Structure 1
Amino acid sequence: MVSLTIKSYTVKDIRFPTSLDKHGSDAMHPDGDYSCAYVTLFTEDEQLTGHGLTFTIGKGTEVVVRAVESLMELVVGVKFNDIINDFAGFWRKLSSHSQMRWIGPEKGVIHLALAAVVNSLWDLWAKIEGKPLWKLIVDMEPEQLVSTIDFRYISDVLSKEEAIELLKSKRATVKDREKEIKEKGYPAYTTSIGWIGYDDETRRGLCREALKQGYTSFKAKVGDDIERDKHRLTLIREEIGYENKLMVDANQVWEVNQAIDWMKQLTQFKLLWIEEPTSPDDVVGHATIAKALKPLGIGVATGEQCCNRVVFKQLLQLGAISFCQLDSCRLGGLNEVMAVALLAAKFNVPVCPHAGGVGLCEYVHHICVWDYVSVSGSFENRMTEYVDHLHEHFIDPAKCSNGRYVVPKVPGYLVGMKPESITKYQFPDGDYWQSVKRKH
């Protein structure tokens, strides 16, 4: 591998005015402006840069940017080979800085910033190797891949040796699954039909369009009012029928008992899962909800706000989730994502990553391809969220065809943004935000 040094970086606050059309609206977050803290790493080779981002929804992105700047003091000037030769050690150095960890630890703003930094390193590694990210990690021998993961706090449930054996158990048939998924793609579901702020006409039109695009799984937001939820779900079922899958997402608005009572009133809609029914930190509460809803055939899904591998470990230990919705930016980058995916595999819980947002679809289709090819070897109850907003701002955007993610071929983790989009939407000095300021 070429010898490179991380010479410098930029980090930008990029915000898109999605609140204007209620894109992304849910019961907890009715007016988000989908945004990101966007990192670029520079080396002495001008052709080799690393891009990473972490998803936010507007105000507060500037705080994540400042946290990235603090972490970058540990990255700039370091030889890239030294990072990847002990990636687990370097990850721990970033996540466990003796002063900065105090404002986590391993959660919140500091962990969001960590994801942007770490994923930019993975993007750079994949580009150096000339492979899409999924292919880079699929091609790794189990020992090498496991060496990138920090097992601190999860080794009581999953040891390095167990992780290696899990990967080895699928190794002989990796090539067959790789060929298959390149041909078929990875199953996706759409949330674009289900934002809580949409009117009936918009929702019906989006359902019909999604059906034409080949989707067979759909998700809707719920939780603001039980009668409005029944109305929305009736409308959606009228459009998609009962042969297709339907999931709902409450985005943390309920108390534990309220979640159980509310969902019991929605059983006629044959729902596959309820997502984020209560506080993302309430592991026991999720277990209580899961136990109560299991006889009704409704699973519990969560993960987009689960801050680290430790919370996932507990959710899995207590049988609190039927679907593991890890988030590529809420966790501390790909290293921790892979740790959670391996934990889920041990408990035989399907990984169905959270996506949408800015750049999350671009990230997660790499994760899903790796999970299928190297870890799970199964499509059963596995599908990944797709939201059709903001992909036009990426150089190599995620694509879906006939309701399935298309396997990427371009080297990298593929969250590089178009320069003109950065110029227009950088906050607060981008062309768009300056024009808004002038109007007011």
Structure 2
Amino acid sequence: MTKTIIKLTVRDVRFPTSLEQHGSDAMHTDPDYSVAYVVIETDQGMQGYGLTFTVGRGTEIVVCAVEALSALVVGKSLEEIVSDFRGFYRLLTSDGQMRWIGPEKGVIQLATAAVLNAVWDLWARSEGKPLWKLLVEMDPRKLISCIDFRYITDALTEEEALDLLLKAQTGKQQRVDQMLKEGYPAYTTSCAWLGYSDQLLKQLCTDALNDGWTKFKVKVGADLKDDIRRCSLIRQMIGAHNTLMIDANQRWDVGEAITWVTRLAEYKPLWIEEPTSPDDILGHAAISKALAPLGIGVATGEQCHNRVMFKQFLQASALQFVQIDSCRLGSVNENLAVLLMAHKFKVPVCPHAGGVGLCELVQHLILFDYISVSAKYNNDPIIISFGYSCEMLESSVQTHQYPQGQVWKKLQ
């Protein structure tokens, strides 16, 4: 039965996480974790949910951008969209006037991701599947048709991408069974936000160890002496056998990054994440080259990058780890392109998540990557329902909707 989209709504939902320094890092010292939350409705009563993550002020700008895109969505049927998803993607990203404020970057990319992810959620729900299963079971040729290869064919052609997917068909069911039984491993940042006291850090780290966590990420970049003290403390607590990563959230210049991380090398971090400007591809390459003898990799990918920038990161050998972010990187369509390029260039993919809904979304992408692309297992079982795991509790949305929600009225 045809499902025509008859309505698109978007709401500004914010959580006052800055009050207790949750999510704080060297560049974002007072984040209020937030989303632009999109719901699309069809004439058959079915809904699709999408969101894009923000950190407070500015969410209202993303909401305006979503509203500007809504005219391109309402009135189309789901069947029409998925029969030419690449065309629909280009409709949103290449509108003759709207693209001027992008293209495919910044606010317009965040807004586009929220809309496209709502469509993916609707598609998966209409099939009665979680998104990862929709992707895994999709004919490889159909999946390739959902990706826009424009601007990246010098790095990955459609034919190459199809060949990668076809080669990964072997053993796919065994990997599905493994994931359903074991889940996929993850790391935690929750115990080491930059604004946390040592007492809280120790308590949260102890709790995480007791819960079975083995990989820990620490925020760094504001003060070198403090970073040395905190990294020493974390390393002592987790022991030499567990994994430590560090994240500067774009704080440093290139030379500063090399000097700073060299001072932290004794704590054996697996990677330094976002050491400099997210747009500085050559800078990341220089940092990567300088830190390689220390055994420290460079990771990035969360900050509104697109497939074109990832192409250049990979071609420049600037990364040892590609991070995918379920909505700041872009839509499912964009993430699919990045996963395939990373596999071709033999760079491992690490899911990046932290914020409203991101952990729920990114698990779909990493399951697809492991099962249908890389077959590389980089643990607790996860539970995923139908769709793209974007639906929020309506009670939470109403309570935290900005500025009229109950939480924000109390803070005014």
State the TM-score bracket (shorter-chain normalisation): over 0.9
Question: In structure 2, the residue corresponding to 1:113 is in which secondary structure?
Answer: helix
- 1:152-171 → structure 2 map (5 Å cutoff): 152-171=150-169
Secondary structure, counterpart of 1:324 in structure 2: strand
Q: Does 1:431 align with 2:406?
A: yes
Flag structure 1 segments of 5+ consecutive residues without an equivalent: 383-402
CA contact (8 A) 2:172 2:371 kept: yes
Query: Which deviations, in whole Å up to 9, do the C-alpha atoms of 1:195-238 show, x marking residues without a partner?
Result: 00001110011111111111110000000111000110111011
**CA contact 1:308–1:336 (8 Å) conserved in 2:** yes
- Contact kept, 8 Å, 1:365 with 1:405, in 2: the verdict is no
3-state SS of 2:349 partner: coil
Q: Which residue of 2 aligns with 1:310?
A: 308
Deviations 1:147-202 (A, max 9, x none): 00000000111000100000000112110100011111101000001100001110
TM-score, structure 1 normalization = 0.93
For residues 317-344 of structure 1, what are the alpha-carbon distances to aligned partners after superposition, in whole Å with 9 as ceiling and x for unaligned? 0110011012111233000100000000
Which whole-Å CA distance do the structure 1 matches of 2:124 and 2:198 have between them? 44
- Give distance in 2, aligned partners of 1:407 and 1:165: 31
Cα drift, residue 44 of structure 1: 1.1
**Aligned counterparts of 1:423 and 1:219: Cα–Cα separation in 2:** 32
Q: Does the 8 Å CA contact 1:181/1:407 hold for their aligned counterparts?
A: no
The separation in 1 between residues aligned to 2:357 and 2:311, in whole angstroms, is 26
Which of the numbers 162, 170, 177 marks the counterpart of 2:175? 177
Following superposition of structure 1 onto structure 2, how do residues 18-417 of structure 1 map, counting pairs within 5 Å? 18-46=17-45, 48-379=46-377, 382=378, 403-404=379-380, 406-408=382-384, 410-417=385-392
Q: Secondary structure at the match of 2:126?
A: helix
Amino acid at match of 2:44: D
- 1:323/1:405 CA distance change after superposition, 3 Å: farther
Equivalent-residue separation in structure 2 for 1:267 and 1:423 (angstroms): 46
SS of match in other structure, 1:190: coil
In 2, Cα distance between equivalents of 1:233 and 1:196: 11
- What is the aligned counterpart of 1:419 among 394, 397, 404? 394
Coordinate RMSD, CA, aligned: 0.8
| Corresponding residue number in structure 2 for 1:6 | 5
| 1:291-350, Cα deviation, whole Å (9 max, x unpaired) | 000000000000111421010000000110011012111233000100000000001111
Is residue 304–residue 330 contact of structure 2 (8 Å, CA) maintained in 1? no
For residues 331 and 432 of structure 1, the distance between their equivalents in structure 2, rounded to whole angstroms, comes to 29
2:181–2:381 contact (8 Å) kept in structure 1: no
- Deviation string for 1:353-411 (max 9, x for gaps)? 220111110110000110000001011xx3xxxxxxxxxxxxxxxxxxxx445152x11
1:296 and 1:35 map into 2 onto residues whose CA distance is: 37
Q: 1:88 is matched by which residue type in structure 2?
A: R
Task: Provide the rounded CA distance (Å) in 2 between the counterparts of 1:238 and 1:264.
Answer: 19
- Paired residue total: 412
Helix, strand or coil: the match of 2:227? Answer: helix
**Alpha-carbon distance in 2 for matches of 1:407, 1:284:** 40
Give, in whole Å, the separation in 2 of the partners of 1:306 and 1:343.
17
Q: TM-score, normalised by structure 2?
A: 0.99
In 1: Cα distance, 2:63 partner to 2:342 partner: 31
Q: Do 1:308 and 1:330's aligned partners in 2 also have CA atoms closer than 8 Å?
A: no
Paired with 1:404 and 1:153, the residues of 2 have a C-alpha distance of 39
Structure 2: stretches of 5+ with no match in the other structure: none
Contact 2:298/2:320, CA 8 A, preserved across alignment: yes
CA–CA distance in structure 1, aligned partners of residues 271 and 140 of structure 2: 33
> Residue 319 of structure 1 aligns to a residue in which SS?
coil
Task: Quote how far apart the aligned CAs of 1:59 are.
Answer: 0.2
Kindly provide the amino acid, as one letter, of the partner of residue 364 in structure 1.
Answer: V
Q: SS in structure 2 opposite 1:325?
A: strand
Which stretches of structure 1, 4 residues or longer, exceed 6 Å deviation after superposition? none
Could you say what secondary structure the match of 2:53 adopts? strand
3-state DSSP of counterpart to 1:254 = coil
Partner of 1:16: 15
Q: Secondary structure at the match of 1:352?
A: strand
Q: How far apart, CA to CA, are the structure 2 residues paired with 1:279 and 1:405?
A: 35
Once the two structures are superposed, what CA deviation does each residue of 1:29-75 show, in whole Å capped at 9, x if it has no partner? 010000000000000122x1000000000000000000000111100
Amino acid in the other structure paired with 2:5:
I
